[in-house]
Structure 1
Amino acid sequence: MTALSTEPPGTAALLVNSRGEYLLHLRDANKPWICDPGTWSIPGGDREGTESCRQAVERELYEETGLRVPVEPLTVVDTHGPDGGQSRIQVYVGAWEGDAGALPCPEGIMFRWFDAETTAWLTMCPWTAEVIALHRRSAPVPAPRPAAKPPRVGGSRARLNVLGVHLHLQREDGRILLGLRHPDVAFAGRTWHFLAGHCETEGALACLIREAGEEAGLTIRPEDVELVHTVHMLDENENENENGDGLPRLGLVFRARTWSGTPEVREPDKCLEWAWFDPSRLPEPIVPYTRLAIDGILGGRLYSEMGW
């Protein structure tokens, strides 16, 4: 017989930043089955199945905030559920420096940062106020870590991804076609890159075939094309949207087994020349994810990530 866990059934995570502020969650006031409705509290929830408290708090934190933050045990508190029954909560503590207002909030109303003095004026969940008071007495404020990126928000916060197609042409002698981009283009001027383009109102194959004709005068049939690599990348300096935020890019690299025509510069404002290169001696400078994709293709890998 498997022994029952003696860990508390509930878990919660107290996140604090380098300014000594606490990440609080405003609970929904109109759902009577929620513990302490209408109060400011911290994210958390009950263990499920055979979960440990640590597994439960990591899952709950991700589900409620989209964050994966290292946490350590802080204390165990007693609380009362919506039915009046008593329960216990294992509380963990972790450090995070991000924008509370940008977090997804699939449960409750909002997330906000508050310093300890301000919490005295809020309608606080009683045990959360107890936890904050304990933390102030027993734990130092974490030092800021400017060199480290805060964990990237996930969960339900959707972001647009730019979809690009890339043509991988390889001759019988093994050499690969690359183009030297014009110095005045917005992305990667004077840098070697695949023949590539962004999808418009069209499928990826239609975009690839169109770009091959427009940029290099090549004719490719869809039945002669296969997907050989995908790169999912993030560069905050590229693909900025109207808010100045970098957009993620999904690059589909297709190999054409056969084609018609000889590469020629059809768009001189975008490309200076086409040339064939030994994949073991690629030219410099080359777009980093182009090199990553070529290495992946040579290594038989179908997927790579960069910048996350």
Structure 2
Amino acid sequence: MPGERFRIAAAVYGILRADGRLLLLRRAGTTFRHGQLSLPAGHLDGGEDALSGLVRELREELGIEADPGGCRLALLLHTAPEDADDQEYFHLFFTVDRWTGDPVINEPGKCSELRWADPTDLPPDVVDYVAEALAAITRGETLALRGWVTGP
């Protein structure tokens, strides 16, 4: 609609590390990236700030309580729509340095496996844009773009 302010979808991702490894989960029971490995993540709810959404998602998916003071924004990934039914996204990747509890599969209908992986040698079935985001973070980038056509 002309004059309507643009809106963007936002998702948050938690990067949990222990003993030099990175926690991944295998998506299940969904049509989006079913069977692939990803980070614990989810969409923001309306009226919810990014940090609160991250803490909520980690509680829902892994049964842990993340300390908001131990969560730091590592990367903003801005993606173009992948197809006509998709929309633009802001993907907010946070490092999570402090949490209580042991990560478990807390939503078995959405996750079939938890795996601690070497961040320098990710499994080949990690969601492509998640792998790109992790590589950008390793390079020290704080903003990454994906799927945009630039230039004339």
What TM-score does the superposition give when structure 2 sets the normalisation length?
Answer: 0.89
Residue 38 of structure 2: aligned partner: 193
Match of 1:214 in 2: 60
Aligned pair count reads 147
Specify the alignment match of 1:169 in structure 2.
Answer: 16
- Return 5+ residue gaps in structure 2 as ranges: none
| Amino acid in the other structure paired with 1:284 | P
Matched, 1:265 2:105: yes
* Separation of aligned partners in 2, 1:235 and 1:282: 25
**CA RMSD of the aligned region, Å?**
1.8
Q: Which has the higher contact order (CA 8 A, sep 6+)?
A: 2
CA shift, 1:157, in A, is: 8.0
CA displacement, residues 139-197 of structure 1 (integer Å, 9 cap, x when unaligned): xxxxxxxxxxxxxxxxx8854211000001111x3211110000x30311000111000
1:233 aligns with 2:73: no
Q: Quote the Cα distance in structure 2 between the aligned partners of 1:158 and 1:178.
A: 36
Between the aligned partners of 1:307 and 1:159, the Cα distance in structure 2 is 18
| Matching residue of 1:300 | 140
User: How far did residue 236 of structure 1 move?
Assistant: 2.8
State whether structure 2 residue 130 is matched by structure 1 residue 284: no
Among candidates 204, 209, 215, match of residue 50 of structure 2: 204
Which residue type is aligned with residue 179 of structure 1? L
How far apart are the structure 1 equivalents of 2:85 and 2:116? 35
C-alpha distance after superposition, 1:4-33 (max 9, x if no partner)? xxxxxxxxxxxxxxxxxxxxxxxxxxxxxx
Structure number with the higher strand fraction is 2
Change (3 A) 1:245 1:158: farther
Q: Deviations over 1:11-69 (max 9, x none)?
A: xxxxxxxxxxxxxxxxxxxxxxxxxxxxxxxxxxxxxxxxxxxxxxxxxxxxxxxxxxx
What percent identity do the matched residue pairs reach?
A: 33
Q: Which runs of 5 or more residues in structure 1 are unaligned?
A: 1-101, 105-155, 238-243
User: What TM-score results when the alignment is normalised by the length of structure 1?
Assistant: 0.45
**For 2:121 and 2:36, how far apart are their aligned partners in 1?**
15
Cα distance in structure 1, aligned partners of 2:141 and 2:70: 20
Task: Quote the residue 1:250 is aligned against.
Answer: 90
